[in-house]
Amino acid sequence: MNAVMNRKTEVRVLHAKQATPAALAPYGTILGYHPDIKPMPIEFYDGKAKVRRVAEFKSDGETEMPVVTLDRRPLEVRWMERHPKHTQVFISLGSKPFVAVFAPPSDAETPDIDKAEAFLFDGQAGFLMHINTWHEFPFAVFDNTNLLVILRKEATDGLVVDNVVQDEAVSADLVKRDLLTRFGVTFKVEV
């Protein structure tokens, strides 16, 4: 471990792309209006409430919906995590933009850092990640950005200090890896 800490850190730059349904398809589904998805045949309310199933949330356990208030922090990625038992959702409350970094879903012990990408969400729609999508927790563009997060309670509990060992966290539904220690790499996001 000390040999890794003694080598020079490689900082890779990720240029944030616009978060579009096509660009995000490998990682999940945009949660917002989709004109291509026909409304369900629900006849109540004289057609004034059109219900479209745009994504399927999956979880095999106790699900929670915490609201996370984000302030701006450096757009630097040192950790990435994945969740093997559930999809995860981020929805901006108040239409504030945010930035997210993803790497392809896998059940590997570490993310494929050569395929990491950054995205700028405009705050007009949420996002549902596929199971096992590697990601860093979103970054605020503006202070006091509130995100509604839908995830398994077990994943959140996996982040508490008692479960963190050598800057990484692991629980039954969380694998959080330190990119600096494992690869000697961090990412800097440019918006």
Q: Per-domain residue ranges for the chain? A: 2-34+59-190
Backbone phi and psi for residue 70, each to the nearest 5 degrees, phi listed first: -105, 140
pLDDT tens digits, residue range 114-165? Answer: 999 999 999 999 999 999 999 999 999 999 999 999 999 888 887 876 778 8
Question: pTM value?
Answer: 0.88
Give the list of residues 6+ apart from residue 58 with CB closer than 8 angstroms, or none: 86, 87, 131
> What's the CATH architecture for 2-34+59-190?
Sandwich (2.60)
Q: What is the pLDDT of residue 6?
A: 59
d(CA 144, CA 68): 9
